[in-house]
A and B are shown apart, each in its own frame.
Chain A
């Protein structure tokens, strides 16, 4: 017996929307075997996971706080993947963005640069966006001009950047007040983002991230540049033949992608951490890839997928404290959801024929 995929003539909108939801439910069902292995009651564990992520104002505020950098790295990956540029380096771009933010807005020498806070805030965001953009421009040009695979170069750059950050935290950007703890000088208090709800950590970066999602969506859908990105991503040769400037489009898409990931770093520093540390991102750049794929590269879907993934990660912490199932269950669910959603999405476009 063998199987073969046959393209469906049409796929209904309902199927496209239900596919990811069904895939996630399927993943939860399969993952329950792991929960059972850890010796916990499955329904109680999932109940606590859900409650810890979404069950109270505090839980929701933590989830939304965690979703902010994920929305931005998810958007970064979306823009790059749309242009068929496999940016696996959002993690590194986030860190250079954070470093650039503190370089501009940090309390160097105790007082920092003597500029009006509004101007300094804008400069800080520009610097972090530029740092992220330039970090991805290199691999994008190497790919476009010389055919160097961008997957490997962006992956390796993540390791180089993390070592570079470590070097900066030991050297020129070291916090003199930190007693040898590896962290950068603090960001100026004036540059920190305001909290949206009192006594929680959720900050105005959430609004910024959602606005950027809308802008990226509108850009991809309604502008010539957005059309060029989609054309290059669909078929670079055909796009070139139709007069789309392929190298320029890929380079600009790379800069936009890197800038979004760089901004994630600046907004984390300004909204949550106040310092650059070596553990400020527990893999937000890599999770951004999962989010972009869960959202099927739709910028507004990225916001929904980020809230889902953030809820899982936040909920796992309190669930683990209560019933002792390791927090890594959230990572398993997220990774398995990615694979399940890919398969489910495929099945909305193809049907399986056995013969």
Chain B
């Protein structure tokens, strides 16, 4: 028990929590934006892979880091546009379209990586974002600017959703598209915009992995983080503030299991620790299930004039 408190007292532990939380915050906000407009986006897992790859490739080819982030966002936006075409314009199953995009984006990224680097055995590296030592705020100063961006996006998204006409339109098409259409809001346009913007955030979440957390692109590096974001949105009841809380809570347990694993002296197999974050995600989903307030039109395709 005392060991546990020692662990929590180390600033290094909290650095790790914030670092692990960053891609989850970005990804969760992305899913949240799509779902608030009424569209599930299971493309996130693949979009994160694609963002991680293209952002990294841009920087590797000589572009500045922020251009890499922009490229990752644009990559996400393109896949978002495809998802919007399939689910909003053609009103296909959101589940299947999203999974298709995950498979396609992942396969394209791996293919692109192998074509660009046919014979490398150790992954080529870039110089990632530096820590923000100039900031002078403990813990935050040990993070990179992408973490600051993720944290700032939380109130920004909350402001847009709850205080602006655009946010009202997004929530309306997610709750009652017929009524929104009656008010002169174009359901297709708003949903498409929300999916494209949300997917761009997922692309940045991926870029964090290759341009900040690590300095190279690996296969399987996203490793289910996208699916965790989908779970976190439900846990957060589709609210940006709670999404931040959920991501931090998840990252806390993930950092904890890493430390417990390293501290040794444990009789439990290391796989038990690795399972913990996934198990906790399921437990969290079950706990909030009873009072989950889904956007009313989530997963319901909308065809103008069809009931």
The answer on A and B forming one complex is yes
What residues of chain A have their CB less than 8 Å away from a CB belonging to chain B? 3-5, 34, 37-38, 86, 88, 142, 146-149, 151-153, 155-157, 159-160, 163-164, 166-167, 170-171, 286, 289-290, 293, 324-326, 328-329, 331-332, 334-336, 338-339, 342-343, 346
CB of B267, distance to nearest CB on chain A (Å): 12
Given contacts A293-B100, A328-B111, 20 further A-B contacts (CB under 8 A): A34-B111, A34-B115, A147-B292, A148-B286, A151-B230, A152-B231, A152-B234, A152-B281, A152-B282, A156-B228, A160-B275, A167-B269, A167-B271, A170-B269, A326-B115, A328-B114, A336-B104, A339-B97, A343-B92, A346-B90
Chain B residues with Cβ under 8 A from A286's Cβ?
99, 103
User: Are A335 and B107 also in contact (CB < 8 A) when A4-B304, A148-B285, A167-B271 are?
Assistant: yes
Chain B residues with Cβ under 8 A from A155's Cβ?
224, 227, 230
Chain B residues with Cβ under 8 A from A293's Cβ?
96, 100
- The listed residue (A38, A171, A334, A339) touching B115 by CB distance below 8 A is A38
User: Are A289 and B99 also in contact (CB < 8 A) when A152-B227, A335-B107, A346-B90 are?
Assistant: yes
**A148–B227 touching, CB < 8 Å:** no
B91 CB–A CB distance under 8 Å: yes
CA–CA, A166 and B269, complex, Å: 10
List 30 interface pairs A-B (beta carbons < 8 Å), by A numbering. Answer: A3-B89, A4-B304, A34-B111, A38-B115, A142-B286, A142-B289, A146-B289, A148-B286, A149-B234, A152-B234, A156-B224, A156-B231, A156-B282, A159-B275, A163-B271, A164-B271, A166-B271, A290-B103, A324-B118, A326-B114, A328-B110, A329-B111, A331-B106, A331-B111, A334-B107, A335-B100, A338-B96, A338-B100, A339-B100, A343-B92
B66 CB–A CB distance under 8 Å: no
What residues of chain B have their CB less than 8 Å away from a CB belonging to chain A? 42, 82, 86, 89-93, 95-97, 99-101, 103-104, 106-108, 110-111, 114-115, 118, 224, 227-228, 230-231, 234, 269, 271-272, 274-275, 278-279, 281-282, 285-286, 289-290, 292, 303-304
CB of A173, distance to nearest CB on chain B (Å): 13
**B107–A332 touching, CB < 8 Å:** yes
**B110–A339 touching, CB < 8 Å:** no
Chain A residues with Cβ under 8 A from B286's Cβ?
142, 146, 148
CA–CA, A328 and B285, complex, Å: 34
**A342–B86 touching, CB < 8 Å:** yes
In the complex, residue of chain A having the shortest beta-carbon distance to the beta carbon of B305: A4
In the complex, residue of chain B having the shortest beta-carbon distance to the beta carbon of A146: B289
**B234–A167 touching, CB < 8 Å:** no
User: Are A156 and B104 also in contact (CB < 8 A) when A164-B271, A339-B86, A342-B96 are?
Assistant: no
CA–CA, A325 and B90, complex, Å: 33
